[in-house]
Structure formats: structure tokens, C-alpha cells
Structure 1
Amino acid sequence: MKELLEYIAKSLVNETDAVMVTEISRGEDALLLELRVAPEDMGKVIGKQGKIAKAIRTVVKASATIEKKKVTVDIVDQ
């Protein structure tokens, strides 16, 4: 999951070195992924009216469903 989110984020931003994904376990089947990007790339990751962020969350959740896990993606300011 972490690798997928990192790959998607790096595909969208200009500063790929600033992309950081933190994985936090929330029990056996639950996972929290925190995505951090450079401040100037935040708009690219969120998109107009949050459409890109919603799409990222949907893809990651679909991938997690295959592994029978629940994943939450948070986009965090640095």
C-alpha cells in the first residue's frame, strides 16, 4: 500500500524528493497512510475540489480491499 501511494504521489508532483509516506498500524486489519509533499505541490495532490485526493484514496482503498485491509489516506501539511 505504501509503495502504491508513494508511486502515485511522485507521478503527480514536481519535487519527488519531498514525497514522504508514513505507515501507521491501527490494529490487525487497519492502516493509516500519511502523505506529505512539498507545500508548492499540495495543490497538485489535492486537485480542484479535492478530486485528485479522492481518486488517490479510492485507488489505495481498492488495492487494500484485495488484501482484506482497511486503509485511510491522510494528506498532511509539512
Structure 2
Amino acid sequence: MKQLIETIVKPLVDHPGDVQVDKDEQHHRVTYKLSVNPEDMGKVIGKQGRVAKAIRTIVYSAAGSHHGKKIYLDIID
């Protein structure tokens, strides 16, 4: 899942080397924390959050039923 997020985000940003995805796994949830260069934040979020929503939709769809755990994607600023 981490690789999927990086594959989606890196082509969108000007500083692909700064893209970082961390995984925080708890009992009933897995949270992926995406951080990018501050200059690229607008590109990842998009107008009215449309790009961020599209990224989340793809990630949630790809996750399916991840062993009964709920998947979340947080964009860290």
C-alpha cells in the first residue's frame, strides 16, 4: 500500500525525493501518513481537496478488506 501511495503522489509533485509515507498500525485501523515538501502541498491537496479525495478513493479501493482493519490516509503538513 505504501508503494501504491508513492506511485500516485510522486508524479504530481516537483520534489519527489521529499515524498514520505509512514505506516501506523493499531488494533482495528491502519493509518498511512503522507508528507511532502511544503511547496508541493497544494498539488497533493488540489482545488477544494479534489486530488486528495481521489488519492484516498484509490487507496481505500485497493485496500479492500485489509484483514478486517480500516485504512486511513492522512496528509501531514
TM-score greater than 0.5 by the shorter chain: yes
Counterpart for residue 71 of structure 1: 71
Query: What is the CA RMSD across the aligned residues, in angstroms?
Result: 1.3
Per the alignment, residue 48 of structure 2 pairs with 49
What do the CA deviations read for 1:12-46 (whole angstroms, capped 9, x no partner)? 1010010000001022x521000000000000000
Residue segments in structure 2 that go unaligned for 5+ positions in a row: none
Aligned length: 76
Q: After superposition, where does 1:2-41 map in structure 2 within 5 Å?
A: 2-27=2-27, 30-41=29-40
CA distance in 1, matches of 2:64, 2:38: 31
Please state how far the C-alpha of 1:64 moved relative to its aligned partner: 0.5
Query: Identity of paired residues, percent?
Result: 49
